[in-house]
Structure 1
Amino acid sequence: MISTTPSGTRPNWLTLFLLTFPPLCWAGNAIVGRLAIGAVPPITLNFARWVFAGLLLAPYAWRGVVAHRATLRQNLGVITAMGVLSIASYNALQYLALTTSTPINVTLIGASMPLFLLLVGVIFFRERVAGWHVAGAALCLVGVSLVLVRGQLSRLVQFDFVPGDLFMLVATITWSGYTWLLRKNRPAVPLTVLLFAQIVMGVIVSLPFTVWELTVEHQVVHWSGKVVAIMLYVATTPSLLAYFAWDRAIARAGAHLPVFFITLTPVFAALLSTLLLGEWPHWYHAAGLVTIVAGIWLGQRA
């Protein structure tokens, strides 16, 4: 539960802010990713995002990296896997998704994370599930399907999906794998040290793909004030500030309540898309959101 003041009558507004701020940042990241189309190639945007974020984090993390270098060395394989799944894969796939899909669709598919967490846990980590979990996952699947087919069941039969939506599905699966690694095999190092180590490994893995995009695909960065602002935003707000706010929110509110606040991301994305991009949400977005939230609530009842 959200902690209260001693009188027990008012919520802790700092906890509410910490729970709400990251979804707003992640929605903004989807909007900015959409605005970057044609100006910055998606894989290059992800690479630049984490290079800048790593440089900003380095002064705060470096002493910890040196102090915990033995632990980092022992867990190099796990840290590399985390960097590949989160830094190199999830974020790059999200920007790729935004080249053909909308921020509302992308964030709604991402909000179905509990479904894929359940599937990855059962398949790869031998987790046992209860009937409530299965029912909640089924509702999430219905909500995601509504978004994928845009309310037209004929698309489901014809497998007529937008490529960006499928990219986001893959991204959601990679993040689920990262989450399970973090839960089961998290190295015993401070948050700043772990994040910095993941960024380093993710950037190293991303480098050849970035080179391929710029040389083989002949895509270019069209530098401008807008591009600089985009890179500054993605390197700071959704990458570092949201990450630390989310960590503090989980520490204050527990593991279960934040799951529901994640579903604010598509709500914020819909509002920002309408205001900044002129992309209005449709009925199936609302239906998908309600169904996904219901599935999360059902699966988290225990």
Structure 2
Amino acid sequence: MRRLYDNPYLVLAATTMIWAGNAVASRLAIGHISPMLLVQLRWVGTLAIMVVVAGHAFREEWPAIRANILWLVIMGVIGFTGFNALFYLSAKYTTAVNIGIIQGSIPVMVLIGAFFAYRTAITGLQAIGIVVTLIGIVVLATQGHLELLLQMTFNFGDLLMLAACLGYAIYTVALRNRPKISAQPFFLGLSLVALASSLPLASAEYAAGQTIWPDWQALLIIAYVAVFPGFVAQLLFMRGVELIGPGRAGLWVNLVPVWTAVLGPLILGEVFAWYHALALVLVLGGIAVAESGKRA
């Protein structure tokens, strides 16, 4: 087991498969639990685990956490609650395959964000990669019928997922100025913010009469998203970064749409159409070109 944990490729492959499984879980949850209640209960589960794992370290680093509480609140709302709320809501309107492919655009969004925030130089190859990736997203959103651009009839779920990815990209860019807090207490703090900020969303859903209380299948889904995407994947990704560095580890997020394109049809029976394949090639190809430009 230790040998597996010391292998960055297996660690990061497992991480991205878990993230892809989150997209599948969001689709399986439809009709069994409402999206905002799922967000809230996910953070209840993850927070319970984090309190056990990092509660002592959190108390030790409380002065630093308290000094940076506003930063934690903003980033927790944008990167955790906002991302997950839009992520699970988008599953009502689009497929797990679409969710996974759009999620693969996050690295390019981060590249653009870093340019505007820090004036990080963008090379010619990176610019080409950005354009190719955006074309892939357009192909996906229009289901290969580009004439829909003139009618502005995009899949609503795809747009929600794009907004989720944009928020997570902003969160990722902001991590460059992360407070000097250890990883686990830092994650525990964000989890607290995520749970607190999910309460109004779940309350609004209840007030609108749209709450679906979880059945047995939903309880299994909650357990999965709390334990695996919410906790295990975070630890595995930290381990991957520790082994090969953040730059190389970050590239592995591009594997998420590949896993989702496999898991969606296998588990959910979703159709993998020609425009999915084209969008997948364009998104991953664009990211690969952008990253080759970064390395150059």
Q: 1:256 aligns with which of 239, 244, 247?
A: 247
Query: C-alpha distance in 1, partners of 2:284/2:197?
Result: 35
Take 1:214 and 1:295, find their aligned partners in 2: how far apart are those partners? 41
Q: Distance in 2 between matches of 1:244 and 1:255?
A: 14
Are residue 165 (structure 1) and residue 158 (structure 2) matched? yes
- Unpaired runs of 5+ residues, structure 2, are none
Runs of 4+ in 1 over 6 A off after TM superposition: none
Aligned residue number for residue 67 of structure 1:
60
Residue in structure 2 matched with residue 230 of structure 1 by the alignment: 221
Report if aligned partners of 1:260, 1:293 keep a CA contact under 8 Å in 2.
no
1: distance between equivalents of 2:246 and 2:11?
14
- Whether contact under 8 Å (1:114, 1:137) holds in the other structure is no
CA distance in 2, matches of 1:273, 1:294: 21
Aligned-pair CA distance for 1:123: 2.9
- Structure 1: runs of 5 or more not aligned: 6-10
Contact 1:256 1:300 in 2 (8 A): no
Q: Kindly indicate whether the alpha-carbon contact (under 8 Å) linking 1:52 and 1:235 is maintained by their aligned counterparts in 2.
A: yes
2:128 corresponds to which letter in structure 1?
Answer: A
Matches within 5 A, 1:104-253: 104-183=97-176, 185-215=177-207, 217-253=208-244
Question: Could you tell me which residue of structure 2 aligns to residue 8 of structure 1?
Answer: none
Which residue in the other structure is 1:84 paired with?
Answer: 77
Supply the distance in 1 between the matched residues of 2:214 and 2:246 (Cα, whole angstroms): 41
Separation of aligned partners in 2, 1:286 and 1:272: 14
Post-superposition Cα deviations, 1:167-199, rounded to whole Å, max 9, x if no partner, equal 00100110011101112x212122110111001
- Give the residue type in structure 2 aligned to 1:297: A
Match of 1:277 among 268, 272, 277: 268
> Partners in 2 of 1:144 and 1:107 — Cα distance?
11
Please name the residue that 2:38 is paired with: 45
Structure 1 CA distance, aligned partners of 2:35 and 2:52? 27
How far off its partner does 1:205 sit?
Answer: 1.4
Number of equivalent positions? 291
Measure how far apart 1:132 and its partner are. 2.2
1:121–1:180 CA contact under 8 A, matched in 2? yes
- The amino acid across from 1:136 in the alignment is G
The normalised TM-score by structure 2 is 0.93
What's 1:27 paired with?
A: 20
1:193 is matched by which residue type in structure 2? Answer: P
**Correspondence for 1:57:** 50
Shift of 1:254: 2.3
Structure 2 Cα separation of the partners of residues 277 and 191 of structure 1: 35
